[in-house]
């Protein structure tokens, strides 16, 4: 007799889902930094993307990466260091 046991290893905890820190959007340094980086990324990627869906996914990943790099981990220091 063959028996299968289903083990759910990857239980997703929705309380730890990533969310945008909306305070970043009110910071002029952050918005200008993000816009400049994103525009450069889009100019390079738009012409070489095989489909709009892939371009959309890469835009989301790139945006999240820029936000992670500039989001302050321990206060406002990350925002102060954007231009450095």
Which pLDDT value is given to residue 4? 57
Within 8 A by CB and 6+ apart from 67, the residues are 20, 21, 24, 34
Whether the per-residue pLDDT at 73 is higher than 80: the answer is: no
Domain-wise residue ranges, the chain? 22-80
Neighbours of 30 (CB within 10 A): 21
Whether the per-residue pLDDT at 71 is higher than 50: the answer is: yes
Q: Report the run of H or E that residue 61 belongs to, with start and end.
A: helix 52-70
Within 8 A by CB and 6+ apart from 24, the residues are 30, 31, 67, 70, 71, 79
Low-confidence winner among 2-6, 14-18, 22-26, 42-46 (lowest mean pLDDT): 2-6
| Residue-wise pLDDT tens digits, 11-37 | 556 556 667 778 888 888 888 989 999
The dihedral formed by the CA atoms of 22, 28, 31 and 35, expressed in degrees to the nearest 10: 170
């Amino acid at each position: 007799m063959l028996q299968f046991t289903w083990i759910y290893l990857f239980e997703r905890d929705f309380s730890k889902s990533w969310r945008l820190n909306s305070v970043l959007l009110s910071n002029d340094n952050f918005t200008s930094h993000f816009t400049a980086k994103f525009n450069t990324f889009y100019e390079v990627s738009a012409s070489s993307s095989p489909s709009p869906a892939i371009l959309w996914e890469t835009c989301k990943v790139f945006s999240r990466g820029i936000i992670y790099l500039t989001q302050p981990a321990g206060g406002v220091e990350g925002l102060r260091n954007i231009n450095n």
